[in-house]
Amino acid sequence: MSLVKNFATVGGATMTSRVLGFIRDVMIAAFVGTGLVADAFFVAFRLPNLFRRLFAEGAFNSAFVPLFARALEEEGEDGARRFAGEILAALFWTLVVLTILAEVFMPGLVILLAPGFLDDPEKFDLAVLLSRIAFPYLLYMSLVAFLSGILNTFQRFVAAAMAPVVLNVVMISVLAGIGASDLVPGTEMGLIMACGVAVAGLAQLVLLLVAVHRMGFSVPLRMPRLTKGVKRLWRLGIPGVIAGGVTQINIAVGTIIASTQAGAVSFLYYADRIYQLPLGVVGIAIGVVLLPDLARQLRSGRVDVALHTQNRAMEFALALTLPAAVALIVVPSEIISVLFQRGAFDAADTQATTAALVAFALGLPAFVLNKVYSPGFFAREDTKTPMWFAGIGMVVNVAGALALAPFLGHVGIALATSLAGWVNTGLLGVTLWRRGHFGIDAGARKRLPLLAVASLLMGAVLYGGAALLSGWLSSPLLVVRFSSLGLLVVIGMAAFALFVQLTGAVDLKRYLGGAFKRKPPSVAGE
């Protein structure tokens, strides 16, 4: 299966999930808005997600996938199964203990993540209650990350990529029930939504368990033992907690500072959801596919192939990310107003969320490039270097947020997050280059400037299109507004496709052929 096809497979599944996620968030905005219940629920939802992305997706995947690929390469399936069983035992029982401790000390965790809630006892108590209900999501999703690592190493990407769809289907169903029952925002609504999060996590775990079973790869659950493989995983995984989860740590810092401002947590959440669409579709696809590919190529000594793979991954990332970033900067208010402005979400909320979205969009290319550069370290079993760079990024983020928030409010928090992303990504790229582990080849040097030009031209077309469609985009009829936004998206995509073809930035026919070709292409054709 070609690199492009793997990107398309994971990206397509992620796109499905993100579209459903938008439907979910549109419903949350309409039913809950940006008030007390919304702030409490978003903190409750973010808390297990923060731990999941730090300890499961970030640290675990960066350490587990290369080690599992090595066991599979050197010891075959039996050795890989034995290694996976050792890791599952350590992971599962650690998560059980962590979950119990979190449930007991949940008030302290909420204070750490949202200290501003202490000024509103009702909001604080609700956040603690909802967080206790939702926190088992961490256990379920960490096991999902473990099973996803196994499936991805075997080039089985679909089931793992489709798992987030289950979350959104469950939450949409829960919100539809809330809408049908005409519940008003309050404790009962928050409880129902938090229960939906926990159920959705369990459903995703079941999906992945079935996928691994159908693949014929069983992993026994035993009592934990401190084996050589477990020690190696922890040694690599601890630095990966910081390196793999830097974006989430930065978001958490932003949440802490934003909790002191009314509505700021919600404004940042809704803006985050928008820019996470291209970041999720492109960044997750690259992160999922690139790491096992590089690990196998470097393990077999194919350094030239690994370099080619990284360059093509960078081109693919920027070909989708640059136009997305330009679009979010050029027409942010149109996007926010159409998606969220109704019910409890008013025009003032749209204006505040729009400003945060522009600030996040400035860092979008950096966030995606981080997914391209990080596997170059992880595949070589080096998680310490990204850890130090992530630490520098966190310092920049905290200092920037503290400096800008008093003047720019929640927008300053978003700007600090973007600045930290660029600092971290720049350090990763320069270090790979200095070590001789990455270099921009002739093809990338030619195509990347042309991609930037095509993106700017597309932005001009979008600006004009938004002006022409302004009446429809502000129509009182919801179907007209959504249709107009859809038309604007199509115009932007068509314009970008035209400009990349005219400038020679991308050979669309070759890339589309690579995405849908059944027979694996040669390296030169990837």
My answer on whether 375 and 466 are in the same domain is no
pLDDT score recorded for residue 1: 43
Residue 100 CB partners (closer than 8 Å, separation 6+): none
Q: Give yes or no for residue 104 having a pLDDT over 90.
A: yes
In this structure, what token pair is assigned to residue 90? 């350590």
pLDDT score recorded for residue 59: 61
Note whether residue 526 is domain-resident: no
pLDDT score recorded for residue 526: 36
Q: Which of 380, 409, 439 is the last residue before a domain boundary?
A: 439
My answer on whether 453 and 435 are in the same domain is no
My answer on whether 147 and 262 are in the same domain is yes
pLDDT score recorded for residue 459: 93
Tens of pLDDT, residues 460-498: 999 999 888 888 888 878 888 889 988 998 999 999 988
DSSP per-residue string spanning 456-474: HHHHHHHHHHHHHTHHHHT
Dihedral (Cα; 324, 326, 328, 333), 10-degree rounding: -150
My answer on whether 315 and 338 are in the same domain is yes
Q: Give yes or no for residue 313 having a pLDDT over 50.
A: yes
Coil/strand/helix, residue 303? helix
Note whether residue 415 is domain-resident: yes
My answer on whether 416 and 289 are in the same domain is yes
Q: Give yes or no for residue 33 having a pLDDT over 50.
A: yes
My answer on whether 249 and 332 are in the same domain is yes
Euclidean distance between CA atoms 526 and 522, whole angstroms: 6
Q: Give yes or no for residue 241 having a pLDDT over 70.
A: no
Q: Give yes or no for residue 422 having a pLDDT over 70.
A: yes
DSSP per-residue string spanning 66-127: HHHHHHHHHHHHHHHHHHHHHHHHHHHHHHHHHHHHHHHTHHHHHHHH-GGGGGSHHHHHHH
Q: Give yes or no for residue 330 having a pLDDT over 80.
A: yes
Q: Give yes or no for residue 264 having a pLDDT over 90.
A: no
Calculate mean pLDDT across residues 104-116. Answer: 87
pLDDT score recorded for residue 359: 92
What range does the domain containing 56 cover?
3-439
pLDDT score recorded for residue 130: 92
In this structure, what token pair is assigned to residue 181? 């029952």
Calculate mean pLDDT across residues 45-56. Answer: 69
Note whether residue 135 is domain-resident: yes
Task: Please tell me which residue, 517 or 67, carries the higher pLDDT value.
Answer: 67
Calculate the average pLDDT of the chain.
81
My answer on whether 461 and 417 are in the same domain is no
pLDDT score recorded for residue 166: 87
Q: Give yes or no for residue 521 having a pLDDT over 50.
A: no
- State the pTM of this model: 0.69
Choose the most confident range, by mean pLDDT, from 21-35, 59-73, 101-115.
101-115
